Amino acid sequence: MPLIAVQILWLNLITDGFLTFALATEGENEELMKFSPNRYKKDILDRLMIFRTVFLGGIMAIGSIIFFQLQLAHHSLEYARTGLLLLMAMYQWINAFNMKSETESIFKVGIFSNLNILIAIFLQIILAAMAIYVPIFQTVLKTVPIQPEVWVYAILFSLPLVIFEEIRKSYINHIINEYSVPLFKTHKI
């Protein structure tokens, strides 16, 4: 793994922590009626959640490997790690918007519908900049200053998460609407 332990810990504490609390304040969701009621009486990880996790995780893994190799081809290991740390944080920021709904488009639900998510991401951008550019954080997290274009590359590499998740949601909605099937109906054994 290109990232070191303290960087992974920073990702888990900072990106996951803030966004988890922000997502918990998401308003009511009408899409829940599309699902079989039995879905919520069974395992937390149903087929939809497992597919979504593998699908988005695969996109992030491929993007991370390519991004890291491109950075490493032109810069030091520390520089490539720092860029990858930023990309991994951006993946989480994008996923916060993707996770607002399992089936509805991020653009239908609304990017600005939960102010808490926007505040959390804004704070995380500041913390990411501090992790990359403030000397004390550089020492602790083993980061180095990166050029502004790396931020642009990280944004470009994180955008496929939105694109592929929108395609997946569109397909799921097609199944629901075309066949009037409750999504991933749970059967009794």
**Cα 35–40–42 angle (5° rounding)?**
120
In the chain, where does DSSP find H-type helix?
5-10, 17-23, 47-74, 77-98, 106-109, 115-133, 135-141, 148-179
Q: Which residues contact 177 (CB under 8 A, 6 or more apart)?
A: none
Secondary structure letter of residue 112 according to DSSP:
T
Distance between CA atoms of 64 and 2, rounded to whole angstroms?
Answer: 10
Residue 122 near residue 80 (C-beta atoms within 8 A):
no
pLDDT category at 27 given cuts 50, 70, 90 is low
119-174 per-position pLDDT tens digit: 989 999 999 999 999 999 999 999 999 999 999 999 999 999 999 999 888 887 77
Provide the mean pLDDT of the chain. Answer: 83
Query: Which residue reads 């990359």 in tokens?
Result: 132
Q: What's the whole-model pTM score?
A: 0.82
| Alpha carbon 53 to its chain's center | 10
